[in-house]
Amino acid sequence: MKTKPIAKIVSRLSRAVLIAGAVFLWPASVLYARPTAAIIYPNDAKITEHLSVDVISEKDRSRASFFLPIHAVQDTLTVDTGPGAGMIISSVTVLEQTLPYADEAQALKNKLKALHQKKSEYETRIKAATATIDFWQTRAKTQPKTPESVDSVEKLGQAIGRGITAAYDEIFQHNQSLEDLAEQINDVQKELDDLTGAARKRWQVTVYFSGAPKTKPGGPIDLVCTYHIQNCGWRSAYTINALPENAETRLGWYAEITRNTGIDWEGVALTIATARVVTRPEPPFLRDWIIAPHEPVDYPMAQRKAVMSEEVMMMAAPQEDADKTGGAPPEPEQAAGFTFDTYDLGNHAIKSGETRRVTIRDLTLKSDFKYLVRPQADPQAFLFAQIDVKDADFIKLPEGDATFLVDSAFIANRLFSMQDKEQKVFFGSDPQVDVKLTILDKKSNETGFLMGKKHFQWGWKVSVNNLKAQKIDILMEDAAPQIRDDRIKLKELFDATAPEKEDNTLKWTFSVPAHEEKTVEYGFSITYPDDMTLSFGGR
């Protein structure tokens, strides 16, 4: 008869037994399952384990048991029999048990105990030295009004001084020793937490079967179980090296895997996923769709103002985003669990508490390097790579910490991600490209030859000085003036280097030879009615 895999979980009876505190003694055939495969998500991991467990027969049913780490999430556990088992899973129970310390963990525990004992000794000595200081200070205050002699007073004073000084020296030395002990205690505690996954318990899983086994009575049965586990995850890390002379950017994408599960992984097939599939046990309810006449509600004035304020607040953020994108609608949100990427990293061994960096991809990206200058905002030139990836080669890169280099020299650490095939990647400002902004014109003429009109004019000169030993390409940008009234007339004043206009931004592109300077002059003039008061937008 073909067995039916039953993939499920923790019975309510087992939880009741757990709450009641029942204790079960299991035979030596109970196994601690070892992972064979893991899909690691940013904040947890899905573990697959294959194990062979001895079957114990009990009257009309049989059972087999194994252990899982305490960080395993009970409600995600699935258990299945291997092919040809001849038995069907009838139920699964999970009980919490105290996790015995291994020899190494017990040694760390003993070391921690000895350090705490040493700490208590120093604290006791500090209390004794403090009591000594109190004694001498009390002795000094309780001297007779008429001393026996000057000599006896001097001797007593010297004794009090020596006693208090020695006690303070002793307290100082013990406090220093306590500081050293505190560091040692923290280090040993961290080492112990990493070794045991910061937990001292485990789950004992017992699988009950019905049916007759195809193996001999008491023989092993093959099981496959999966579960999600906490204290495990990964994050992206990048090394991005700009090589302008080669017109390329070399990008290394790494997975930094961290885990504190209390169990070492040996030869585990690792897969990383950029997101986790979100599942729910039951579908959501449908909400009634009611179409009916709307009856206005007459709010009191104070309440009406509060409602209006709330509506304004709800609209504020979307409107700000719309302003930034020129009124474009926001991109649709990605549905959790439906769109994500996975990457096979092969087999790896990772110890509990270890952070492992594994290479996901090494990419060489063709890049067009330029310097972006915005003289009205900043007198610096910023190196950037314009990266255009072919559709067949493009992969989305999730956000992660990145180390930025130029010609293999460190520039900065900051966050990085790539969500589009076309992207600008900035590598900071370059002190060998000097940018200077000079104001040529900034004047008004309210009584010019145009009667009844006002006139205002701006003019600037931008100088870009290339101190480098090679030619550089420049992209210069400035905000284009936006006229919000038809009565205002704008005139553009450009020299031979005219800009392109894109999304209310003026863009000049030009090259500057090595050790030379390039200048660009431009400006604007406006005329407007004499009775109009203008805001010049900060210019």
Span 412-450, pLDDT tens digits: 999 999 988 999 999 999 999 999 999 998 888 755 555
CB 49 within 8 A of CB 80: no
At 539 the pLDDT is 79
At 214 the pLDDT is 62
User: Is 445 found in the same domain as 418?
Assistant: no
User: Is 46 found in the same domain as 122?
Assistant: no
User: Is 92 found in the same domain as 4?
Assistant: yes
Low-confidence ranges of the chain (pLDDT < 70): 1-33, 85, 99-103, 143-153, 156, 195-200, 212-218, 276-281, 294-340, 446-451
User: Is 60 found in the same domain as 135?
Assistant: no
User: Is 373 found in the same domain as 385?
Assistant: yes
Residue 173 lies in a domain: yes
User: Is 165 found in the same domain as 84?
Assistant: no
| CA trace torsion 462, 467, 468, 470 (10° rounding) | 60
Which residues are CB-neighbours of 370 under 8 A, at least 6 positions away? 383, 384, 386, 472, 473, 474, 475, 509
CB atoms within 10 A of CB 271: 17
CB 404 within 8 A of CB 427: yes
Secondary structure string (H, E, C) spanning 457-481: EEEEEEEEEECCCCCEEEEEEEECC
Residue 361 lies in a domain: yes
Q: Quote the pTM value.
A: 0.61
At 280 the pLDDT is 63
Residue 322 lies in a domain: no
CATH number at residue 509: 2.60.40
Q: What is the DSSP string of 55-77?
A: -EEETTEEEEEEEEETTB-GGG-
Of 401, 429, 457, the residue at which a domain comes to its end is 429
Burial of 76 (0-12, 13-18, 19+ CB in 10 A): middle
At 20 the pLDDT is 33
User: Is 214 found in the same domain as 178?
Assistant: no
User: Is 413 found in the same domain as 446?
Assistant: no
At 256 the pLDDT is 92
Residue 302 lies in a domain: no
User: Is 357 found in the same domain as 256?
Assistant: yes
Of 149, 177, 196, the residue at which a domain comes to its end is 196
Of 410, 429, 448, the residue at which a domain comes to its end is 429
User: Is 248 found in the same domain as 190?
Assistant: no
CATH number at residue 155: 1.10.287
Residue 306 lies in a domain: no
Residue 191 lies in a domain: yes
User: Is 108 found in the same domain as 63?
Assistant: no
- Measured in residues, the chain has a length of 539
Containing structural domain, residue 361: 234-260+353-429
- DSSP reduced 3-state for 498: coil
β-pair type (342-350, 265-273) = antiparallel
The closest alpha carbon to 384, from 363, 398, 367, belongs to: 367
Residue 539 lies in a domain: no
Domain total in the chain: 4
Residue 300 lies in a domain: no
The closest alpha carbon to 55, from 46, 64, 67, belongs to: 64
User: Is 242 found in the same domain as 203?
Assistant: no
- Nearest-5° Cα angle at 208, 203 to 212: 145
